[in-house]
Amino acid sequence: MTTTIQFDSSASLARNGVALVYDLEGFSRFFNQPDVQDYVPRFLNHVSQALSTVIYGGAQHWLESPKTIEPLRLAPLHEKFLGDGALYIWTMSAEETTGFLITLCNRLWNLKRNFQAVVRRAADDVPVLDIPQKIRFGLARGTIFELTRKGSPDKEYIGFCINLAARLQSYCSDLGFIASARLGISAESFHKNGYIKVVATQIKGFPKELVFVDANEFAALETSTREELFEAL
């Protein structure tokens, strides 16, 4: 009998996990241009290479003066392309958390800030208008469960932090990087790196969610946006 996707009857034991979701703003418009099959893979490869450098180390080739960075202490357990972005999952012990996550946050924020440089490098390979100009990141922590497909070694993962990370990346496009306070990093550590803790009030399924955002970017938001989407502590 032919079936659709099925899983073994029970999930793995719960593990402490971190989920990262990124999304390319304007990807649908980009995708709807002529001869898209010639350009979308090239653009995605440029973005993927930048993310690979953030995670696995190497030269930040999109910068005018490329700086070589070391690999993160932990590699992702899982990577999955989502159509207009990707999902990355890490599992770790509590002892491995703080330094790793602060480094990850700072690297993601810097990539977001310099994403125009990635776009400029991609433009030589992607000679069309409406290339996505912004990348957005959502980062969250929580319990992760592993699912095994029947008759296949492929793994899938479930957990509320995956859903939360996806919703954080889409929550406020003017910020572009939002990390859940559930990451378990002290406010002092975040403040030292230029972030502040605020309350996100309109995330579907996650009312009154504590999050960290870049202090300067948050201050630059339109007053109406801040009042609609956030509350100060």
Residue 210 within a domain: yes
Q: Whole-angstrom Cα distance, residue 222 to residue 230?
A: 12
Per-residue pLDDT of the chain (233 residues; tens, 9 = 90+): 556 777 766 667 788 899 999 998 877 666 666 667 777 888 888 899 999 999 999 999 888 888 899 999 999 999 999 888 899 999 987 767 778 999 999 999 999 999 999 888 888 877 776 778 889 999 999 999 888 777 777 788 889 999 999 999 999 989 999 999 999 888 788 888 899 999 999 998 888 999 999 999 999 999 999 999 999 88
Find the domain containing 164 and state its range: 15-231
CATH number at residue 73: 3.30.70.1230
Contact (CB, 8 A) for 58 and 49? no
Quote the CA–CA distance of 39 and 185 in Å, as a whole number: 40
Q: Token pair for residue 192?
A: 């030292």
Total tally of structural domains belonging to the chain: 1
Residue 5 lies in a domain: no
What is the C-alpha separation between 55 and 48, in angstroms, rounded?
Answer: 10
> Residue 115: which of 141, 87, 134 has the closest Cα?
134
* Residue 94 in domain: yes
In a domain? residue 195:
yes
Residue 1 included in any domain: no
pLDDT attached to residue 83: 80
In a domain, 6, yes or no: no
**Cα 191 to chain centroid, rounded:** 20
In this structure, is residue 73 part of a structural domain?
Answer: yes
| Residues linked to residue 163 through DSSP beta bridges, in sequence order | none
Structural domain includes residue 4: no
- Single-letter amino acid code for the residue at 193: N
